[in-house]
Amino acid sequence: MNLKLPKGWEEVYTDQFIEIKKLDDGESSFFIKQIEILAILTDTLPEDDMWNDLDVEELSQSIKELKWLYSEPSKNFKKQIGDLHCIDINQITFGQFIDLNHFFSDNYLDNIYLTCAILYRKQKINEWGTITYEPYDLINIFERSELFKDLPITDIYGVLDYYISFKDKITNIYKGLFSPKFDENEFTDEDYTEEEKKDIEEEEKLSQWSWNNVVHKLSDGDFTKHNQIYNMNFVSILNHLTYLNVMKL
């Protein structure tokens, strides 16, 4: 059997990559799993008759050709896909970060297309010679995500690390916002008054990562201001929250 197999990740489509990564390591035998991988890479089904004719020697040779599967795809990614450009992640809005955080936490592999839909936008040069991007709130990210579904994994895989690195940096820089206010093991009557304990418990309930609570606080409960806050730069929001935290406002 002459199998036409990809030579590297750059020849593997994103949906194939996701299928391979989601294969169960525990239940299938080594032989069955290799057949499943080969089927994914050749757009066939493991139950197809062609796999019944594959002997152990042919399977072993095919596996040797796929040694690159055990490496990670390049974290470089295309900054431009069609007429869409990946924005500077430091310029994301508060609303974009909330969406990124939600879809990434839910199932980052299945949601890689939505991650791209959030970060890639059309752009133009305004009359002052500055690059401007289409407004995020005018984009249907579910429709836009379809534009990324027929791409090699190497075109967009690095977008995941792009977001992770940003989030790690933000969490480190603004750790005062995201770290617990107290160590539960040190929560004693001697250290806190009843009023202080009540305040701390309430603050823990309204987690610093509860973005709805942040919006409510910054808008002073005015619903009409919510969109304005969602469209603000995320880093600017964090700087303001840090100020409020320091000033205990």
Q: What is the DSSP letter of 13?
A: B
Tell me: pLDDT of 28 over 70: no
- Residue 35's alpha-carbon distances to 13, 25, 50, in angstroms, are 18, 13, 10
Q: Same structural domain for residues 166 and 215? A: yes
Question: Is 64 in the same domain as 78?
Answer: no
By the 8 A CB rule, do 141 and 114 touch?
yes
- 30 with 124, same domain: the answer is no
Q: What is the pLDDT of residues 58-73, one digit of tens each?
A: 777 878 888 898 899 9
- Asked if residue 188 is part of any domain, the answer here is no
From 52, 70, 88, the end of a domain falls on 70
Whether residues 147 and 214 fall in one domain: yes
Whole-prediction pTM: 0.78
Give the domain range for residue 120: 74-173+210-249
Angle, CA 236 vertex, CA 234 and CA 241 arms, to 5°: 95
Count structural domains, the chain: 2
pLDDT, average across residues 12-27 = 84
pLDDT above 60: residue 135: yes
Question: Residue 93 pairs with which residues in a beta bridge?
Answer: 233
Helix, strand, or coil (residue 150): coil
Q: Are 109 and 18 in contact (CB under 8 A)?
A: yes
In a domain, 134, yes or no: yes
In degrees rounded to 5, what are phi and psi of residue 177?
Answer: -85, -35
- List pLDDT tens digits, range 105-134: 778 889 999 999 999 999 888 888 888 889
Query: Looking at the domain assignment, is residue 46 inside a domain?
Result: yes
